[in-house]
Amino acid sequence: MGIGRVREMLIRAGYRLLVLDPDLQTTDQGPTRAGGPMPCVAVLFVSSSPEQWRHSVRQLVASTTGRIIVGVLYPTDGPFFDSIDERVEWLTVGSICELINRTYRAVDGHILVVDDAITLPLRFLDTALAWVRDDPRIASVSFLSNAADHLSFPTRNLPTPRVPDGFDEQTITDRLRETQPSASPAPILIASGQVVLISSWALGAVGELVAPASARFDVAISDFSARANEKGFVNLVDTSTMVARSSDIAVRPIDDRMREDDMGWLLHRHRWLIGHLDEQRLSGDSPLAHAHQVARVKLEGLTISVDGSCFGPNETGTQVATTRTILALADHLSVRRVVVSMAGQIPSYARQLSAHERIELRSGDSPWSGIVDIGFRPYQPSPGFDVAGWSNTCIRTAVSMLDVIAYANGSYFESPELWRQYRATICEVVSRVDAVTVISADVREQMILHGLPVERGRISVVPLGTTNADPSAPRVCPAGLEQRGFGARRFAVILGVNYHHKNRELAMAAHQELRRRGHDLDLVMAGPAVPYGSTRLNEANQRASLDDAHRWLHVLPQVTVEEKNWLLSHASLAWYPTSAEGFGFMPFESAQFDVPSVSVAFGPLKELSQVSGVRPLRNRTGSFDVPLMAQSWQPSALCDVGEAFLNDPSLAAQHCAAVREAGQHYSWKAHADRLVQLFREILGQPRVRL
pLDDT recorded at residue 3:
39
Q: In whole angstroms, give the CA distance from residue 139 to residue 240.
A: 18
Q: How confident is the model at residue 307 (pLDDT cuts 50, 70, 90)?
A: very high
pLDDT recorded at residue 85:
93
Q: What is the DSSP string of 517-579?
A: TT---EEEEE----SSSBSHHHHHHHHHTSSSHHHHEEEE----HHHHHHHHHH-SEEE---S
Instruction: Report pLDDT digits (tens) over 405-463.
Output: 999 999 999 999 999 999 999 999 999 999 999 999 999 999 999 999 999 999 999 99
pTM summary value: 0.86
Q: In whole angstroms, give the CA distance from residue 48 to residue 44.
A: 12
Lowest mean pLDDT among 314-323, 432-441, 665-674: 314-323
Nearest of 301, 324, 303, 320 to residue 312 by alpha carbon: 320
Q: Which residues pair with 188 in a beta bridge?
A: 235
Q: Does residue 257 contact residue 149 with C-beta atoms inside 8 Å?
A: yes
Coil, strand or helix at 236: strand
Instruction: Report pLDDT digits (tens) over 51-80.
Output: 999 999 999 999 999 999 999 999 999 999
Q: How confident is the model at residue 8 (pLDDT cuts 50, 70, 90)?
A: very low
Nearest of 45, 103, 54 to residue 74 by alpha carbon: 45
Bridge-based pairing of strands 138-145 and 615-619 is unpaired
Q: In whole angstroms, give the CA distance from residue 61 to residue 29.
A: 29
Bridge-based pairing of strands 491-495 and 459-461 is unpaired
pLDDT recorded at residue 27:
33
Coil, strand or helix at 436: strand
Q: In whole angstroms, give the CA distance from residue 591 to residue 270.
A: 70
Instruction: Report pLDDT digits (tens) over 71-114.
Output: 999 999 999 998 899 999 999 999 999 999 999 999 889 999 99
Arithmetic mean of pLDDT over the chain: 89
Stretch 565-587: mean pLDDT:
94
CA distance readout (Å), 265 to 94, 215, 452? 21, 12, 54
Cα of first residue to Cα of last residue in the chain, in angstroms, is: 60
Q: In whole angstroms, give the CA distance from residue 486 to residue 522.
A: 10
Q: Does residue 513 contact residue 506 with C-beta atoms inside 8 Å?
A: no
Q: In whole angstroms, give the CA distance from residue 350 to residue 327.
A: 10
